Chain A
Amino acid sequence: MSNASLSAPGRGNALYWAIQAKRNIGVRSLFLVVLAFMVAYGFLFHGLFTGTGFAKFTQSWFPLALVAMAQAILMLTGGISLAIGALVSLGAVIAATTMTGPLGVAGGAAVVGIVGLGIGAATGLIVVKLRLPAIVVTLAGSFIIAGAALLVLPRPGGAMPDWLSNLLAGNTPAAFAVLVVIVLLWKLYLATPLGLSLYAAGENPVGAYRSGVPVDAARIAAYAISGLLCTGAGLFVAAQTGSGDPIIGTSFTLNSIAAAVLGGIGFLGGQGTMRGALAGSLLLSLMISVMFFLGFTPVAQYVAQGLIIIGAVAIPQFRMRAR
């Protein structure tokens, strides 16, 4: 990994790997489960290992991976967002109304990014500076954001440039490449002062504050990044469907929490890793695909999904108590 260059040589390096190893303990069994599902899916769907099949699968996973990251960043700082789905919808309708207009693709993407960062930062400011509970602020915020999405596009419509749809949601694994870039950027962010403060601010805000960690800034930045990831996921969903829909993101709120928690992110802040959250979102995505291929009825899918989520969360608890 390239991180060796980021931390100080010698003792700092040893500390880095020790922490990484400790953080990996929780997700090791998760990686095994994901691998098992991946093998099962490979048996069911032989096309998975062709270029097109891989591209299609990663495309179905991509938006969920993004919102899982968005939720995980917040949960690491001890926050949470119930406005994820609304932000995805807003990103989708903004992309679908601007990108074929005079602003063009670059301008549209910039608007989507600025809106995501801005709304995220505003949410963070309200939560952190006014000391309101995050769960309630984002609940109220979800109404405001959903309303804004309805103002931009009252009913499904708009359009995306064909070449963009073909690039992101066509037969090339471009979505996967984008995801790799995002993960690398996340690694870089963790090496910046704000990124380093993230875990400290979540695990022990008072202690971190007294040690000179910019707790408030770290948390507000986390909300801003989370907003950016959500509207980015919206842009991708718009490219996937070729149009905008003001309520398309609704299911992402709950799925983002499920993915993050499956990935071992704790609700209290400071516990868990981003690779865990990504694995959690991959597991959720694989689960849906496998059940689809096995011909599960929607009913059985809901039931199985509920049971697997509870099982995945409960079993580590039992093992911890048995130890």
Chain B
Amino acid sequence: MSISDAGILSRSRIRAIVTSRPFLTFAIVALVWIVASFVSRGFGSYGHLRYLVELAAVIGLVAAGQTFVVIAGGIDLSVAAIVTVAAVGLPLFAIDADPTGLTPILAVLAMTTAIGLVNGLGVALLRVHPMIMTLAMATFLQGLLIIIAGGSAVTAANPLVSWVGNARPFGVPAGILVWVVVSVVVLVVMHATPFGARLFAMGAGPLAAKLSGVPIATTTMAVYGISGFMAGLAGILVLGMNGQGYVGIGDPYLLASIAAVVLGGTSILGGLGTYAGSIPGAILLVTITALITVVNASPGWRSILFGTLILALLLLSGREAARR
């Protein structure tokens, strides 16, 4: 290959990256951070930005599962309930014989993954629309939560959970480290494995994918299983950060996860997108929330500002590409 060829190749490559949706979303985040740090003292400090990313980690984890589901052509409306089930259910699995606290975490993750698999079962085998299946699952889990929590808050006396929520190895919060590891794994699975390829094929056209030999049922179940697992992980993280779990702790994460996915450029219709966009999408959401808190408005105005900003950002990055 000659040098000029390589030059042209890299230049077109760079242009492709710069104009890609994930990069644009990252650019918006950077722009907002720079402007906000000039306007508001302390916003741009390392400690504050680190705190923002730590908060974004929870949304980012839920959005990881949501991205899988949305790309495969579905939607998971049960993530909020699963986050709550994980956060409230963890103390139930506490075993005295295990001082590290690993067993309850594994048990909770197994449970939430199983919940996700049941979602997948309903969608793939019973052919229930994803919105209805996951909605019904959320209703079902709401009942379950009343049994296990009974309305009171639970405190986690789990060393590993509080480490994940509070520790800062090398000055970086453990939650962010977990998010980084998950992000790398998710991106590899999504873009460099046969499973990832099947995912996009299924989302773009289920019938064509089926006729091409994609195992629709198992792929669908896997996708919802992943979403359940990620929501469980987020629930554990949020329990560690809060120190307490209560019914409703997961509620903000349903809308946030969908918004992060869409702001990151993933098509809500499926078959198009990447988790690389959901990552800055999650950070952007947290940043918007933080900015609105800085403005110090009443709850009503805060809600209006939040909705308007998301709508404005959608105009920049969320428009559906014309498909016909």
Contact = CB atoms under 8 A, between A and B. Distances in A.
Contacts of A143: 255, 303-304, 306-307, 310
Contacts of A310: 122, 126, 128, 132-133, 136
B142 interface: yes
A133 B306 contact: no
A144 interface: yes
A302 B299 contact: no
A144 B132 contact: no
A131 B122 CA distance: 31
12 contacts: A131-B320, A139-B255, A140-B308, A147-B304, A150-B298, A254-B139, A301-B143, A303-B140, A305-B136, A306-B136, A307-B140, A310-B122
Nearest to B304: A147
Contacts of A2: none
A280 to B, nearest CB: 11
Q: Chain B at the A interface: mostly helix, strand, loop or mixed?
A: helix
A159 to B, nearest CB: 20
B127 A317 contact: yes
Contacts of A131: 319-320, 322
Contacts of B129: 261, 267, 313
A142 B268 contact: no
Nearest to A298: B146
Nearest to B299: A150
Nearest to A313: B128
Given A299-B147, A306-B139, A310-B126, A258 B132 contact: yes
Nearest to B255: A139
Given A131-B322, A298-B146, A140 B303 contact: no
Nearest to B142: A302
B79 interface: no
A270 interface: no
B9 to A, nearest CB: 34
B137 interface: yes
Interface of A: 126, 130-133, 135-137, 139-151, 154, 206, 254, 257-258, 261, 267, 298-303, 305-307, 309-310, 313-314, 317-318, 321
Q: Which 9 A-B pairs have the closest CB atoms?
A: A302-B143, A147-B303, A143-B307, A150-B300, A147-B304, A144-B307, A306-B140, A151-B300, A314-B126
B300 A147 contact: yes
A305 B138 CA distance: 11
Interface residues of B, number: 48
Contacts of B269: 133
A137 to B, nearest CB: 7
B128 A147 contact: no
Contact of A298 (B77, B143, B262): B143
B259 interface: yes
B41 interface: no
Interface in B60-79: 75, 77
Contacts of B93: none
Contacts of B75: 135
Given A142-B307, A261-B131, A305-B136, 19 more contacts: A133-B268, A136-B314, A139-B255, A141-B307, A143-B255, A144-B303, A148-B304, A150-B300, A257-B131, A261-B129, A261-B132, A302-B139, A302-B144, A302-B146, A303-B140, A307-B140, A310-B136, A314-B127, A317-B128
A313 B132 contact: yes
Contacts of B267: 133
A130 B77 CA distance: 25
Interface string B99-132: 0000000000000000000000010001111011
